[in-house]
Structure 1
Amino acid sequence: MSIDRSRIRVKAMLIAVNGDATAHAVSLNAPTEENPDGYHRLIGGSVELGETHRTAIAREVDEELSAKIHELRHLGTIENIFRIDGEVGHEIVFVYAGRLDPEPAPEGATLTESDGSIVPVVWRPLDDDDAEELPLYPAGVMELLGAG
């Protein structure tokens, strides 16, 4: 299923912190022209017409991970303009922090995208200080948590 990138999209995404607050769950996405080794992206997705961003993040986490969010708090909003395989994308992203219940497994966890594709979920250190080789999107998001 192709994504229409001709319009600005509204998203809700989660910095999903683990129990000991050392890492957060992210999707591990396939290589692109811009990121030949792949990239990490926060958990979450599009806000649907008539839905608040707070409702959207709860729905997305339930749909993708069959999980609930505890200690949910809104951190801020990021405007994300990016390229994926040479195509421009533009998103307004409402960023939240919270804890997943249940948490994804330390290894072998996955999420299910709206098109049915299965994407690996990994734990990315909160204090990676650029030690992590894969970029995290949306760019600049960790500054909202105070960890970047």
Structure 2
Amino acid sequence: MSGPVPVDRSFIRVKALLIAPNDDRSAHAVSLNLPTAEHPAGYHRLIGGGVELGETHRDAIIREVDEELGATIHDLELLATVENIFRIDGVLGHEVVFVHTGRLDPQPAASGATLTESDGSAVPVMWRPYDDVEEPLPLFPNAVRSILSRAMVVDR
């Protein structure tokens, strides 16, 4: 039996991620990722993924959301571009991330929702409150915290 294919982190990757609000704009959809050495309880990450060679960041987020959730995005808007330098199980990673906002159609269920990764694995999806002071799991990329307030204004 084979496990997940390791991600090559020897180069800077380009990502397109989405801040996707629920209907009452109190929370946004995130994936719940497995524990790592740095985050033994797991962590949350915005929905989305890698930009492929020859693909725009806008096309990438539309494709990723379709592939992972079987959803479309309404009112898609680019909010910011951020740099994300991190470690996963001690391995250095570096990304340039285009952070978008937009409404998912259909929206993930309030509980029990999943997305499908490129390797076919299912990853839980949950609604993380915009006001997440009480949330014990970190949200990545780190820089998104400063963008969330702008996303709430754009989404209204």
Structure 1 length-normalised TM = 0.97
Tell me by how many angstroms 1:147 deviates.
Answer: 6.1
Q: Which residue pairs with 2:8 in the alignment? A: 4
Q: Which residue pairs with 2:154 in the alignment? A: none
Contact 2:130 2:148 in 1 (8 A): no
**Alignment map for 1:1-148 (pairs within 5 Å):** 1-128=5-132, 130-146=133-149
Contact 1:75 1:145 in 2 (8 A): no
Structure 1's consecutive aligned runs of 4 or more residues displaced over 6 angstroms after TM superposition are none
Gaps of 5+ in 1: none
Structure (1 or 2) with the greater helix fraction: 2
Q: CA RMSD in A?
A: 1.1
Q: What SS class does the counterpart of residue 116 from structure 1 fall into?
A: coil
Contact 1:30 1:39 in 2 (8 A): yes
Q: 1: distance between equivalents of 2:15 and 2:75?
A: 20
Q: 2: distance between equivalents of 1:123 and 1:145?
A: 14
Tell me by how many angstroms 1:140 deviates.
Answer: 2.1
Structure 2 length-normalised TM = 0.92
Distance 1:91 1:46, change over 3 A: same
Contact 2:80 2:100 in 1 (8 A): yes
Question: Deviation string for 1:16-62 (max 9, x for gaps)?
Answer: 11111000000000000000000000000000000000000000000
Q: 1: distance between equivalents of 2:83 and 2:115?
A: 24
The number of aligned residues is: 147
